[in-house]
Every structure is written in C-alpha cells, then in structure tokens.
C-alpha cells in the first residue's frame, strides 16, 4: 500500500501521536524484533531506504502477514519520530494502526 501526498500529513501526524504514546518502534532492528514477537500491527517502510535495510524487513513482514505501507521517504519517516532519517517504523497499537490504514485508504480512493 502506498501513500499519496495528501494522506502523508495525516499518516505522519498519527505516527507522531504514537511516538508520544510509545506505541511505535523505530528502525529496522526494532521493527524486526517486534514482528518476530508478534507485537507488530503495521509497518511503514521507506521506498528510498537502502536495499539492505529493505531486504532485512520486507520478507519478514510478508512472511508474518503484516501490512506494510510504503511511499513515505526516509526523511519524512525520520521527521515524524524525531530523527534525521529512518528506514522503517513499526506500529504496535492496533487502534493506531487502523487509523493509519484508514488515512492511507481514504487517500487512495480520492
């Protein structure tokens, strides 16, 4: 699932709420660990992340049947979590994950 520019702001705002609520994990290693423990509800992966980073996380997300939203750059994801850049963000809270999915779906319909 990808995100257009109109939905990006809403998705990033929701991610920011998750950061403050401590219901997100940041970085490839943390996303992988949460997925392996069965705690991950949704992942956001930057399409411009290095191939190595993407190869570490995308096959695991697919194998675990975890939804993945691509389309937000590593810089955009990083800014949402208070870092310069990040390749991946994992959403642990299912309600927050549903809100992010809905924002992305609404953008795809318009």
- 75-100 per-position pLDDT tens digit: 999 999 999 999 999 999 999 999 99
H or E element that contains 21: helix 5-21
pLDDT given for residue 14 in this prediction: 95
Domain 5-109: what homologous superfamily?
Answer: Ribosomal protein L30/S12 (3.30.1330.30)
Helix (H/G/I), strand (E/B), else coil: 39: coil
pTM of the model: 0.90
| Strand partners for 44 | 69, 89
Are the C-beta atoms of 26 and 89 separated by less than 8 Å? Answer: yes
Are the C-beta atoms of 60 and 85 separated by less than 8 Å? Answer: no
User: Span 55-59, mean pLDDT?
Assistant: 97
User: Span 29-37, mean pLDDT?
Assistant: 98
The domain limits of the chain are 5-109
């Amino acid at each position: 699932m990808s995100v257009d520019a109109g939905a990006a702001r809403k998705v990033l705002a929701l991610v920011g709420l998750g950061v403050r609520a401590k219901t997100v994990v940041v970085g490839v290693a943390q996303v992988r660990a949460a997925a392996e423990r069965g705690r991950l509800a949704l992942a956001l992966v930057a399409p411009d992340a290095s191939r190595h980073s993407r190869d570490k996380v995308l096959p695991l997300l697919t194998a675990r049947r975890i939804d993945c939203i691509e389309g937000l750059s590593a810089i955009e994801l990083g800014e949402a979590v208070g870092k310069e850049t990040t390749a991946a963000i994992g959403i642990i809270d299912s309600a927050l994950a549903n809100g992010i999915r809905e924002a992305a779906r609404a953008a795809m319909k318009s």
